[in-house]
Amino acid sequence: MSKIKVTFEKLKEANKSALIPFITAGDPHPKDTVQLMDTLVENGADMIELGIPFSDPMADGPVIQRASERALNNKVGIKDTIKLAKDFRKTNKETPLILMGYANPIEAIGVENFIQLIKEAQIDGVITVDYPPEESREFVKKLNEQKIDSIFLLSPTTEDERIKLIAEQASGFLYYVSLKGVTGAANIDIKQVSEKVNNIKKYSDLPVAVGFGVRDADTAKSVAEISDAVVIGSRIVKEIEASEKNHIFSNVKKLVESMKNAIDSSKAQ
Amino acid sequence: MQPYDLPDEFGHFGQFGGTFVAETLIEALDELREMYTKYKDDPEFLAEFHSDLKHFVGRPSPIYFAERLTKQSGGAKIFLKREDLNHTGAHKVNNTVGQALLAKKMGKPRVIAETGAGQHGVATATIAARLGLECVVYMGSEDVKRQSPNVYRMKLLGATVVPVESGSKTLKDALNEALRDWVTNVSNTFYIIGTVAGPHPYPMMVRDFNSVVGKECLEQMPEIANKQPDAVVACVGGGSNAMGIFYPYIEHKDVKLIGVEAAGEGIETGKHAAPLTSNSKIGVLHGNRTYLMQNAEGQIIETHSVSAGLDYPGVGPEHSWLKDSGRASYVAIKDDEALEAFHNLCKVEGIIPALETSHALAYAQKLASQMSSEEVILVNLSGRGDKDINTVANISGISL
Ligand SMILES: Cc1ncc(COP(=O)(O)O)c(C=O)c1O
């Protein structure tokens, strides 16, 4: 069974939602990435999404764009991202690790090579933002052969037929993009998200994670109530960006803790 | 012979093209494809389109025999398809009129566009003004600087111009930003892409709207030159003016099709914008698979060209297909060669060409000198150079 699945089953037994923070590899500096990942786990991350820097992140808002630019200025690309993931695995074998990125870097180093490398780094899942199911059948097949989950996005405009199609190719979990827009955009409408998540669940038994607009603990709490996982990206990346160098880890710790407490309090009653 | 019928229903030209976008855009693209399929052969829509091209744009554009240029080059006769005479000064408006009409049919009150040289932005702002649509144009901040007359033009026409500060601050980044706007405002917004790139159906749709250029040439060439051309030459940024003139000639196998990319400071320097000529690797950007300038790890690399409209690291997927299939060939012209051709056309023919177009002109002159006087070259004079006078003056050390 995949680590992602095991994690979701454990959380389900405990009646909890998962906290999935996102950071970009190599931001603010490659030597910080593993320590940041450890900090996320120590303070409640159930899984980690690690962003692969890309020069043209067209689905990302300004915060994650800038993180990508900083990482690229540090010369961190797809290969270093995988290396950093491997370093993280030296001391953490349990926490599911998901790579999130765009198709071009993966194709540039070669799909087979990419899959080989991430298998060695014990990566559990991949989100390729600009690979819709129609264009990624071969890729998904190859990931599945290596027991790596392929995670797909669903959007507020995804129609039922398409939810079915995507659910058939997806594994690990489904990632519901909670708003029309890019990462880090405006606040989300919980009622609408709740309806959508329930609708998705009609077509799939996979856990549903919600992300793209969760910016504070209150929102995290309400999202946790209606879904299986809360993805927090721009808010954490922003914290990293805004923090003075020697406060990055303590600030991220505080932020993740507060998110975790909010999420854990959601289904308690 | 099998008729040319690409792309397939998924927008593939062989291994190129397709729909590589985040899920957030799929629904919008489905809707667009459906509506375009519905209207592209609809007699009423086409009548409206052609009426606008005639009365608003001023089509058909003439073909002009460049007699003095021909003499100077010494060889094949050079004919110019005068897209510079269109309203707004370039071929871009053909596509813009088509897409804006579609936006109107789809009930979208707001249009957005990306622009490099500003020609597409101006064309979009123009048609938006005419149809009463709100218009937002994204433009790399580098391009805002070097194409300032067009920025002001767009503002005069009532458009909002948003300078894009991310990445290399040029056309590709403007496209990223426009895509981001589109996902955010998808319900009321139509994205008018300005070249034959982007996800399906854009490469096909933009080609179709621009193919009015080649269709007119098919009729005009026998009248003015007594024959179809031996070679058709067009500059290639994303490739819309080239596809527009190439497309109707694809099945005329004895007509050579030649696309001219920007060699910038020279292919060997790495400072260029010529993905096809420099043998770049295949990659995925802006919704399609195509030849793409990138480093070993798939990061898109910065391009260099004196002309903002050619400063793009990719190329429309159909050009990648035409290259691989051998039906078209691609060459590149350097900044200084293009500038020379620019000045030359001003003096010899009394036409100020766009810097983009000047690349095609420079190559056409080289080619003409290797051909016989019985032979005929048709150049797509894609736009006029008024927008470029600041750039050219600057390079010549003159302040206006
Ligand atoms: C006059 C002119 N020609 C050519 C181009 C290049 O675009 P394309 O390759 O799509 O024709 C531009 C782009 O701005 C332009 O303004």
- Tokens in use for B56? 């608003």
Give the phi and the psi of residue B373 in degrees, each rounded to 5: -70, -10
Pairwise CA distance, residues B246 & B379, whole Å: 11
B255-288 per-position pLDDT tens digit: 999 999 999 999 999 999 999 999 999 999 999 9
Task: Assess whether B114 carries a catalytic annotation.
Answer: yes
Q: Are A127 and A211 spatial neighbours (Cβ–Cβ below 8 Å)?
A: no
Domain check: are B382 and B263 in the same one? Answer: yes
Same domain, B80 and B99: no
Q: CA B62, CA B65: separation in Å to the nearest integer?
A: 10
* B136 contacts B160 by C-beta, under 8 angstroms: yes
The domain that holds B230 is classified in CATH as 3.40.50.1100
- Same-domain pairing of B99 and B82: no
pLDDT of residue B360: 99
Q: Are residues B164 and B269 in the same domain?
A: no
Q: Following CA atoms A53, B136, B262, B172 in sequence, which dihedral angle do they give, to the nearest 10 degrees?
A: 10
| For residues A210-227, average pLDDT | 93
Show the domain range for A245.
3-265
Indicate whether B266 and B188 sit together in one domain: no
pLDDT at B1: 57
B382 is catalytic: yes
Residue A182 has what pLDDT?
79
Residue B2 resides in a domain: no
How many domains, chain B?
2
Structure tokens at B137: 């144009």
Alpha carbons A190 and B235: distance in angstroms, whole number: 50
Q: Is the pLDDT of residue A34 over 90?
A: yes
Minimal Cβ distance to A134: which of B19, B185, B299: B19
- Put simply, the answer to whether B20 touches A185 (Cβ < 8 Å) is no
Separation between Cα atoms, residue B50 and residue B241, nearest integer Å? 18
Distance between Cα B263 and ligand 1 center (Å): 15
Q: CB–CB of A56 and B167 under 8 A?
A: yes
Contact A216, A249 (CB under 8 A): no
Burial profile A215-246: b = 16 or more Cβ within 10 angstroms, e = fewer: bebebbbbbbbbbbbbbbbbbbbbbbeebeee
Task: Judge whether B51 counts as a catalytic residue.
Answer: no
Residue A233 carries which side chain, given as an amino acid letter?
G
pLDDT per residue of chain B (400 residues) written in tens, 0 to 9 = 578 999 999 999 999 999 999 999 999 999 999 999 999 999 999 999 999 999 999 999 999 999 999 999 999 999 999 999 999 999 999 999 999 999 999 999 999 999 998 999 999 999 999 999 999 999 999 999 878 889 999 999 999 999 999 988 989 999 999 999 999 998 999 999 999 999 999 999 999 999 999 999 999 999 999 999 999 999 999 999 999 999 999 999 999 999 999 999 999 999 999 999 999 999 999 999 999 999 999 999 999 999 999 999 999 999 999 999 999 999 999 999 999 999 999 999 999 999 999 999 999 999 999 999 999 999 999 999 999 999 999 999 998 8
Residues A242, B20: Cα–Cα separation, whole Å = 33
pLDDT at B50: 98
Same domain assignment for residues B71 and B156: no
Q: Per the domain annotation, does B137 fall within a domain?
A: yes
Q: B148, B182, B206: which is the final residue of a domain?
A: B206
Q: Spell out the residues 6+ positions from residue B28 whose beta carbon is closer than 8 angstroms to its own.
A: A157, B182, B183, B186, B191
- Say if B7 falls within a structural domain: no
Name the DSSP letter for residue A29.
Answer: -
Pocket test for ligand 1, best of B87, B310, B361, B387 (most atoms within 8 A of CB): B310
pLDDT of amino acid B147: 86
Residue A75: CB atoms within 10 Å: 11
User: What is the spatial distance between Cα B259 and Cα B131, in angstroms, rounded to a whole number?
Assistant: 34
Q: How far, in Å, are B63, B140, B231, B377 from residue B373 at the CA level?
A: 18, 44, 13, 10
Phi, psi of A220 (to 5 degrees): -55, -40
- Of residues A27, A32, A46, A60, which has the active-site annotation? A60
Phi and psi, residue A246, nearest 5°: -85, 5
φ, ψ at B378 (rounded to 5°): -110, 120
Q: What is the mean pLDDT of residues A221-226?
A: 96
If phi > 0 it is left, if psi is from -120 to 50 it is alpha, else beta; for residue B286 that is left
Please tell me the distance from the alpha carbon of residue A52 to that of residue A68, in angstroms, as a whole number: 8
**H or E element in which residue A103 lies:** helix A103-109
**Tally of domains in chain A:** 1
Atom of ligand 1 nearest to the CA of B384: 1
Omega before residue B201 within 30° of 0, cis: yes
Indicate the residue of B22, B175, B292 with minimum beta-carbon distance to A153. B22
Same domain (yes/no): B240, B354: yes
H/E run at residue A238: helix A234-242
CA distance linking residue A27 with residue A36, whole number of Å: 10
Whose alpha carbon is nearest atom 4 of ligand 1? Answer: B356
Q: Report in angstroms the alpha-carbon separations of B313 from B115, B183, B285.
A: 14, 23, 9
Closest residue to atom 1 of ligand 1, CA basis: B383
B352 assigned to some structural domain? yes
The SS3 of residue B133 is coil
Six token digits for residue B152: 């002001």
pLDDT at A79 over 80: yes
Q: Is the peptide bond before B7 cis (omega within 30 degrees of 0)?
A: yes
Of the candidates B93, B6, B60, the residue with the CA atom closest to the CA atom of residue B221? B60
Q: Which residues of chain B make contact with A139, given a CB cutoff of 8 A? A: none
B389 backbone dihedrals φ, ψ, rounded to 5°: -65, -35
pLDDT in the model for residue A184:
74
Do B83 and B100 have their domain in common? no
**CATH of residue A197:** 3.20.20.70
Query: Directed axis angle between helix B119-131 and helix B148-156, to 10°?
Result: 10
In a domain, B8, yes or no: no
Cα B241 to middle of ligand 1, angstroms: 6
- B339 close to ligand 1 (CB < 6 Angstrom): no
Indicate whether B268 belongs to any domain: yes
Token code pair at residue B150: 């067009």
Per-residue model confidence as pLDDT tens digits over B167-221: 889 899 999 999 999 999 989 999 999 999 999 999 999 999 999 999 999 999 9
Q: Are residues B249 and B123 in the same domain?
A: no
Q: Which amino acid is at A147?
A: K
How far is residue B358's CA from residue A9's CA, in Å, rounded to a whole number? 64
Segment (H or E) for B31? helix B23-39
Residue A132 tokens, joined? 């819709």
Give the contacts of A157 (CB within 8 A, at least 6 positions apart).
A180, B24, B26, B27, B28, B186
Q: Summarize pLDDT for A103-125 with one digit per residue, the tens.
A: 999 999 999 999 999 999 999 99
Is A154–B281 a contact, with Cβ atoms under 8 angstroms apart? Answer: no
Residues, chain B: 400
Q: Which of A58, A104, A182 shows the shortest C-beta gap to B294? A: A104
The range of the structural domain enclosing residue B163 comes to: 13-53+92-206
Distances (CA, A) of A154 to A132, A269, B189: 10, 29, 21
Residue A268 scores a pLDDT above 80:
no
Measured between alpha carbons, how far is B11 from B77 in angstroms, rounded to an integer? Answer: 37
Nearest Cα of chain A lies from the Cα of B203 at a distance, in angstroms, of 17
Asked, for residue B350, whether it belongs to a domain, the answer is yes
Residue B363 within any structural domain of the chain = yes
Q: Give me the mean pLDDT over the A229-244 stretch.
A: 97
Together in a domain, B301 and B240? yes
Tell me: do B220 and B281 sit in the same domain: yes
Distances (CA, A) of B235 to A16, B291, B333, B338: 59, 16, 9, 11
Q: How many CB atoms lie within 10 A of CB A10?
A: 12
Q: Give me the mean pLDDT over the A168-196 stretch.
A: 88
Smallest CA-to-CA distance from B133 within B124, B142, B141 is with B124
Q: Does A160 touch chain B (CB under 8 A)?
A: no
How confident is the model at residue B400, as a pLDDT? 85
**Domain shared by B338 and B224, yes or no:** yes
